[in-house]
Amino acid sequence: MSKLPDAIVNTLTALWRRLLEHADLARQIVEDAVPAPLKPLVASLPDWAVLAIAAGLVVALTYTIFRLLRTGLMRIFAPRAHAREEIARRGEVEDLGDRLSEELASQRELLAAVRSELARLTAAKVAGGAAALEPRQLAEQGEAAESLVAEQTPAAKEAAREIAAGDLDAAIATLERDARADVAAAAEKWRRLGALVMGVNTAKARAAYEEAFKLQPDDFWTCVELARLRQEAGDLNGARAAAECAEHSAREDRDRSVAATELGGIWREAGNLADAKRQFERALDIDERLARDNPGSAEAQRDLSVSLNKLGDVLREGGDLSGAKARYEEGLVVRERLARDNPGSASAQRDLSISYERLGDVAENSGDMAGAIARYEQSLPIARALADKNPSHPGLAKDAEITERRVAELKARLSR
């Protein structure tokens, strides 16, 4: 084993003794060594902590000096041995780089396979009549897949390979076992499993969020997703309970708006239009303020348009057609602006198509067939373009087919 020269040992020993004798000197050395943002933190540390940090700096300095001195001496007195060491070290670095490159390439391939299989399964569910996932839910599914592949634990590796091979049931079983075994991180692992299979296996997604809810009943998005899954399963009382938990867990205005919207949707499905209207108005009040305060935020503007449409829906169902039309038209103004500012956004274009559809619905309900046809025909080219550009999303093709059928039926009724 290499040995430090006596002169260096004596010098460093003397320096260390001085540090022990003069804590103020040690503090000055540490403060000089750390970046400016950390200086106040160092100033607040007790002397023993500063001495510990100083000791680490001394050790690092010792090692650096020794390595530099050894390398310099070898270059002068043992150039061949130095050359051999350098070649060996470079070989080790190159081998490590090759292994890392292979591992990264393997992870990229596995992630692509996992994403492809989840997209295939999700599209098949939509083709069978299930509701398409929202953009946020699709993003969460993608993040869950990335987390799974990147985790590199035996369970995560096994589950990722099982999904890529087309065996989602086996992957779910693997992740369920893993979540139960890891109590500390169980809630997050259950949420990841729920996000991963959302839109693919809703029963398993709901079961996963139920487990996460037991562990963290005050996690806002756990409450929201569980409320949606319970509502989809027909458990309106359970859905309302989860949505109320979300309402109590909300810490920001946008979260409060989301919780009110969820409660409004649950009351609407239960047939209680008065409470649904009250909740949607609460959400709209918040979203109007956020949109006013954040005029450049596409998210805030879209939230406003969604609240306007949802309030319009409940007014239309309650027979207030003029009130519904007014809300739909307000939402249309917002969505036309968003679609114009984001022409490449499929979400913005689909929102615009839906706004035209809503105005067509209220015109049809009012007996204005010509007005309804005009609005549906504004929606139709957008729906067709989205379906053509996104053939892997059968829900978009279904939207276009429904609108085409409506236009044909209304034109047939007018021609009688």
- C-beta separation of 350 from 331 below 8 A: no
Can you give the pLDDT at residue 1? 41
Can you give the pLDDT at residue 10? 61
What does the alpha-carbon distance between residue 51 and residue 41 come to, in Å, rounded to a whole number? 14
Can you give the pLDDT at residue 390? 84
What does the alpha-carbon distance between residue 333 and residue 327 come to, in Å, rounded to a whole number? 10
Q: Is 350 exposed, middle or buried (0-12, 13-18, 19+ CB in 10 A)?
A: buried
What does the alpha-carbon distance between residue 145 and residue 139 come to, in Å, rounded to a whole number? 10
Backbone torsion region of residue 271, taken as left when φ is above 0, otherwise alpha when ψ lies between -120 and 50, otherwise beta: left
Question: In terms of Cα–Cα distance, which of 63, 46, 51 is closest to 18?
Answer: 51
Can you give the pLDDT at residue 100? 63
Can you give the pLDDT at residue 2? 45
- SS3 of residue 5 by DSSP: coil
Other CB atoms within 10 Å distance of the CB of residue 56:
12
Backbone angles phi, psi at 130, to 5 degrees: -75, 155
- C-beta separation of 265 from 309 below 8 A: no
What does the alpha-carbon distance between residue 192 and residue 350 come to, in Å, rounded to a whole number? 28
Can you give the pLDDT at residue 396? 84
Other CB atoms within 10 Å distance of the CB of residue 116:
12
What does the alpha-carbon distance between residue 356 and residue 363 come to, in Å, rounded to a whole number? 11
pTM of this structure: 0.65
Can you give the pLDDT at residue 414? 83
What does the alpha-carbon distance between residue 155 and residue 178 come to, in Å, rounded to a whole number? 6
pLDDT tens figures, 286-328: 999 999 999 999 999 999 999 999 999 999 999 999 999 999 9
What does the alpha-carbon distance between residue 363 and residue 407 come to, in Å, rounded to a whole number? 13
Question: In terms of Cα–Cα distance, which of 233, 358, 229 is closest to 306?
Answer: 358
Can you give the pLDDT at residue 122? 85
Can you give the pLDDT at residue 59? 64
Mean pLDDT by 10 residues, the chain (416 residues): 52 57 64 66 61 66 67 62 60 62 79 88 83 84 86 85 91 87 80 91 95 93 96 96 97 96 97 97 97 94 97 97 97 96 90 96 95 95 90 82 91 84
